[in-house]
Amino acid sequence: MKMKARARKRLITWLLIAFVSLGIHYYVMILSQQIIQGHFSFSGLLHLIHTRLTEPGDAVRYLDIAKNGYVREGENAINLVFYPLYPLLIRLFSILTGNLAFSGVLISQASYAGASILMYELLKIDHTEKEAWYGVLLLALHPFSVFVMGIYTEGLFLLLTIGCLYLLRKQKYPAAGIVGFFAALCRTQGMLLIFPAAYELIVCRLGKEKRKFHPSDLSVLLIPAGFGVYLLINAALHGNPFQFLQYEAGDPWFQTSQWIGRNISLQFLLAHEYEGLEWVIYYVQIILYFLALGILFFGIWKKERMSELLYGGAYLGFTYLSGWMISGGRYMLGCVPLFIILAGIKNEMVRKVLLLAMCLFHFAYSLFFYIGYSIM
């Protein structure tokens, strides 16, 4: 009877987390629609969802891949730079829904709800229930978390990343390897999960806890194998496993890997060159880099779990190696260790101020996105 009561309470908590996480975004979406049109209308809300969550930016390219797959020639050959897992899921779900765009939105929002639940469970391992809820709210109120609502990989990547980190903490290495495999098939940063996986396995399991090695532990090597599958797709289509790098270096992205210092300097130059985008893209990316760096050092000082700090550092460094970056705010949403570190803040005043600041910036950038600003 007690087990059933605990299971029921856990299920209710999960449903509440999903409701609150998605509810925050829909509330902001409704407010934005009212501000944009001057009044609320259901048809206006549906129009906003269609035009801003399924049409701008990468959304069109993911839908094209879901419909037509990768192609060797033509203007859509460059869609190869987008990883295959998300559009594949869209294609599969569309068999049930009959609509690619609806499937994409459904996958993103369901994945985000699942990611919020897993964030809560991950934080509960080392933190109180209150701190776990705080981490869930910080994730929901990230200034660029609006992208979890539309046809972007943010929701799915968060689900897979947090899921992998949670399974590693529970020492379920085969499952963590499988989930990490799909994370690496969703976005490049997914392969970086091999760092916390290796640390948890070698240092914690085989070192500190002195447990015997089991062949199934090697399943964590599935994580970089996900990236390997993507390289095989490149090779099969073009005979070059790194063809995607050539496409990224060309129009319209012009992205090549450069040292972080050079990229930060470039952001300053671009902020002066592209008037009107400085506080939408470029200065924001600079600020987020130094904020993330500061949070990671704070985590080191607080002696947060080293495997998560390793992943956070690798994620931050890898992301900011990208030259001519315009989606840094969105990418940093996937740096899960930042939320874990901030959730552990003990000072109540600091927690309230941080939450208020997140609320304001989240609403502002979500509104800008729905209005049509170049938030990418």
Can you tell me the mean pLDDT for 100-114? 98
Share of the chain above pLDDT 70, in %: 97
Q: What is the mean pLDDT of the chain?
A: 94
Q: Answer for the pair 90, 101: CB distance below 8 angstroms, yes or no.
A: no
Q: What is the per-residue pLDDT across 280-302, written as a single tens digit (0 to 9) for each?
A: 899 999 999 999 999 999 999 99
Cα within 13 Å of Cα(110), Cβ side? 10
Asked whether residue 171 is assigned to any structural domain, the reply reads yes
Asked whether residue 376 is assigned to any structural domain, the reply reads no
d(CA 86, CA 107): 9
12 contacts: CB under 8 Å, gap ≥ 6: none
Asked whether residue 96 is assigned to any structural domain, the reply reads yes
Q: What is the pLDDT of residue 231?
A: 98
In the structure, what pLDDT confidence band is assigned to residue 199 with cuts at 50, 70 and 90?
very high
Q: What is the pLDDT of residue 203?
A: 82
Q: What is the per-residue pLDDT across 128-145, written as a single tens digit (0 to 9) for each?
A: 999 999 999 999 999 999
d(CA 72, CA 53): 28
Helices (H), 239-347: 243-249, 260-273, 283-301, 306-319, 328-332, 336-343
Q: What is the per-residue pLDDT across 233-287, written as a single tens digit (0 to 9) for each?
A: 999 999 999 999 999 999 888 888 889 999 999 999 998 988 888 888 999 999 9
pTM of the predicted model, to two decimals? Answer: 0.97
Per the structure block, which two tokens stand in for 305?
A: 């779990």
Residue 209 has pLDDT above 70, yes or no: no
Asked whether residue 135 is assigned to any structural domain, the reply reads yes
Q: How many CB atoms lie within 10 A of CB 249?
A: 15
Per-residue DSSP letter, 171: T
Q: How many CB atoms lie within 10 A of CB 221?
A: 14
d(CA 207, CA 212): 10
Residue 206 has pLDDT above 80, yes or no: no
Q: What is the pLDDT of residue 284?
A: 94
Q: What is the pLDDT of residue 129?
A: 95
In the structure, what pLDDT confidence band is assigned to residue 376 with cuts at 50, 70 and 90?
confident
Q: What is the per-residue pLDDT across 223-233, written as a single tens digit (0 to 9) for each?
A: 999 999 999 99
Q: What is the pLDDT of residue 201?
A: 86
SS3 state of residue 257: strand
Residue 175 has pLDDT above 90, yes or no: yes
Q: Which residue(s) pair with 257 in the sheet?
A: 322
Q: Which residue(s) pair with 322 in the sheet?
A: 257
For 64-111, give the DSSP string. HHHHH---SSSGGGGGGGS-SHHHHHHHHHHHHHS-HHHHHHHHHHHH
Per the structure block, which two tokens stand in for 114?
A: 């699942």
Q: Answer for the pair 162, 336: CB distance below 8 angstroms, yes or no.
A: yes
Residue pointed to by tokens 């460094």: 317
SS3 state of residue 11: helix
The structural domain count of the chain equals 1
Asked whether residue 123 is assigned to any structural domain, the reply reads yes
Domain encompassing residue 333: 2-371
More confident residue, 323 or 335: 335
190 contacts: CB under 8 Å, gap ≥ 6: 157, 160, 161, 180, 182, 183, 184, 223, 226, 227
